[in-house]
Amino acid sequence: MEGERLETGINGGLVLSEYRSGIRFGTDALLLASFAQERVKRGVCADFGTGSGVLPLLLLAGGSRARFLAVELQERYASLARENVERNGFADSVEVLCGDLRAYRTLLPAGGADSVVCNPPYLPADCGRKNQAAEKRIAWHEDCLPVEALAGAASWVLRPGGIFLCVYLPSRLTSLLCALRENRLEPKRLRWVVPSPGEAPSLLLLEAKKDAREGMRVLPSLYLYRDGTHAEKSAELERISALKG
């Protein structure tokens, strides 16, 4: 059934409601929450494409005292995020806004955020065979959020010195770096996510800072599994996955 719900326990005490046949959070959201945890401690954090609200919930449950502006294009998921925020006791810390980030100049307050987190659409609008479900196309393809618009929205809402954090595909790194720099967001930290030793990266985690000087650190790679069989999680993935019950 299209509206059938799935209840998932995460981070010990959190319960996340999702549509069983819809957009559901995965390991990439857990990796990004872990990567962002030390950077999103206080102030205002904007979450672009919040979906079910998983990133603000993970960060708040992990000890963040930030106030979150969670933006979601699809009303169905904006409503779901509001439910999840309310259910888990964070209604005073998260405002869910339904809107199109391409209209960021009227949607978001200029310089109103200290940080932005985003698990964005990974694939170009014209890339490969698209999912026939409109809500999944919007989540996975850049039909409604090209990387240039993503970077523009982040730069607009961030104060000078504000931090942008995202998870993305290695094959799109050049497009991401170019879009960020063109919008005054200077890449500062990069971490490759690698399935197992000897394999190519499957994801990347990136931090950029508004109006910063050039200088990016490449952090030690994050390995997901101990070997190529992918049968046993790495110690670090075990720690991160403990957030997901």
Judge whether residue 177 has pLDDT over 90.
yes
On the 0-12 / 13-18 / 19+ scale of CB atoms within 10 A, 20 is exposed
Domains of the chain and CATH, by start = 26-241 (3.40.50.150)
Please give the pLDDT value at position 67: 98
Residue-averaged pLDDT of the chain: 91
Is the pLDDT reported for residue 176 higher than 70? Answer: yes
Of all residues in the chain, what percent carry a pLDDT higher than 90?
79
What are the pLDDT digits (tens) for 56-115? 999 999 999 999 999 999 999 999 999 999 999 999 999 999 999 999 999 999 999 999
Instruction: Report whether pLDDT(13) > 90.
Output: no
| pLDDT value, residue 245 | 41
Which pTM does this prediction carry? 0.92
Does residue 167 have a pLDDT over 80? yes
Q: Which is more confident, 117 or 139?
A: 117
The tokens describing 38, both together, are 């030390």
CB 170 within 8 A of CB 192: yes
